[in-house]
Amino acid sequence: MVTLWFSIFFLSLGVLALLWRLVNPPPRLEMGERGILQRGLGWGWIPWEEIEGAYPPTAREDETVRLRLTVTERLARILRKRRQFPGENPLDGPVEVRLDLAGSDLNAIDVLQEILSHDRPTD
């Protein structure tokens, strides 16, 4: 009988946690001191130092911002693990990533200005 009550209790906690996530989802895109976090990518924080450039959306993709990233060891590990790299070696050149702004209240131009306002190392 005790096992049944424990099962009901933990199942109820799981259902409550799921409902909380549905009602109050975390933001899909975050920008902060550390860099940019796009939850849909699953890469974790993209540091400002890895961002080479940012490009405005085209007419067809008005809810995205394109980033050009320098491939560091951290990013190369992620790309190899997910097999998301062009060619044989992910360290060959920069990688382009699309930040999806759909479902957020962020404007692509405001996000682009925020990204470009951060200092990046020069060669």
d(CA 37, CA 21): 18
pLDDT tens per residue across span 25-62 = 666 777 888 888 887 777 888 888 888 888 877 777 66
What Å distances lie between residue 73 and 29, 52, 70, 95, 104, CA to CA?
A: 23, 16, 10, 13, 31
> Which pTM was predicted?
0.63
Q: Is the pLDDT of residue 5 over 80?
A: yes
Q: Is the pLDDT of residue 92 over 70?
A: no
Confidence of residue 13 (pLDDT cuts 50, 70, 90): very high
pLDDT value of residue 75: 80
Q: Which residues of 52-81 are buried (b: 16+ CB within 10 A; e: fewer)?
A: eebeebeeeeeebbbbebbbeeebeebbee
Mean pLDDT value across residues 72-90:
69
Confidence of residue 89 (pLDDT cuts 50, 70, 90): low
pLDDT value of residue 35: 86
pLDDT value of residue 91: 59
Mean pLDDT value across residues 82-98:
65
For the chain, what is the mean pLDDT?
Answer: 78
d(CA 122, CA 93): 17
Q: Which two tokens stand for residue 54?
A: 């940012």
Give the residue from 23, 24, 45, 25 showing the smallest Cα distance to 35: 45
Q: Is there a contact between 46 and 37 (Cβ–Cβ < 8 Å)?
A: yes
